[in-house]
Structure formats: structure tokens, C-alpha cells
Amino acid sequence: MAETTWWTYVQALIGDDSPAEAAARAGFDKSAFTRWKKGANADPAFVVRLVRAYGGSVLEGLVAAGTISAQEAGVAGRGQSPRAALRGVPNDLLLGEVERRMGRFDISWSDDSAIEYDDEQLGQLITLNPAASDADDHDPDAEVEAQQDEP
């Protein structure tokens, strides 16, 4: 038996997830996948739950399941959605495109770029968490107010 449009769509939608994982994610029994693989029609409620669980287009899912036509959905002649197209792109190509768009940023820290404070600077830091204070009578609000009053 030839694969149905719906079954092809389902396989692309769930990617590397197993039918059991996909069914659990969508909240229904995995036996639906066995029926779909054999060519059974998908119940529209199951279509909607599965597509939403995977962040797909409900209209595209209903078209793939044969519930509505592409014309009824208003997607005739548009081809597949960008999300569906991206699912078929190999990871190395996708990563390369992301790097091209964002540019290469080196966010690693070199040893000489560490922030250093001397003892005088550390003494000026304000502790706003009373639980972090060693003193029982420490009032962080008073400390902030006193620093605000300084010239």
C-alpha cells in the first residue's frame, strides 16, 4: 500500500520521535499511528491535537489529513510552511545559516579579561539581601539611603 499524504506529513511533523512519544506528547493512544500507517483516515480532533503538540499549522495538518482542501484552508499554491521546510534541512546546513545570519561571535572569556576589584571597591558594594549580612543590626535600606546622600 502506498503512503498517504497524511502519513508522510505525520512522519515529517514528529521527526525523530517515536509514535509512542508523539502520542504521549499529543495526549492520545499510540494505536492511532498504526492505523494511520495502514492508511486509515485521521479524526480531525486527533489531527489538531497532534499538530498543536508539535507547533505546526493546524490548517496544513487538516489539509494533509484530507479533512479540508488547500483552497478551503487558504493555503493553495503556497507550498509547505517554513517550519515544515526547516524540518527537512540537515543540522549542519541549518547551523551554518544561523551562523551566517547572526555573524560569528566569540563569547568566550580570555584569561586576561577577568574583572578584578581591589579591597576598596569591594567595600563599596551594597548587599541588598539582609539574610546575606553578618551583622544582626544591618539595614540595607539605610545603607542605600546613606550612599544616595553622599556627594
Higher pLDDT, 125 or 7: 7
Please say if the pLDDT value at position 42 is more than 80: yes
Q: Pick the closest to residue 44 from 24, 64, 25 (CA basis).
A: 64
Q: Pick the closest to residue 20 from 11, 31, 4 (CA basis).
A: 31
pLDDT tier at 136, thresholds 50, 70, 90: low
Residue with cell 545559516: 97
Please say if the pLDDT value at position 10 is more than 70: yes
For the ranges 7-21, 59-73, 93-107, the lowest mean pLDDT is seen at 93-107
- Of 8-12, 74-78, 87-91, the range with the highest mean pLDDT is 8-12
The answer to whether the pTM exceeds 0.75 is: no
What is the dihedral angle through the alpha carbons of 97, 99, 102, 104, rounded to the nearest 10 degrees?
-160
Contact 54, 14 (CB under 8 A): yes
Higher pLDDT, 121 or 47: 47
What are the residues whose beta carbons fall under 8 Å from the beta carbon of 23, sequence distance 6 or more? 29, 30, 32, 33
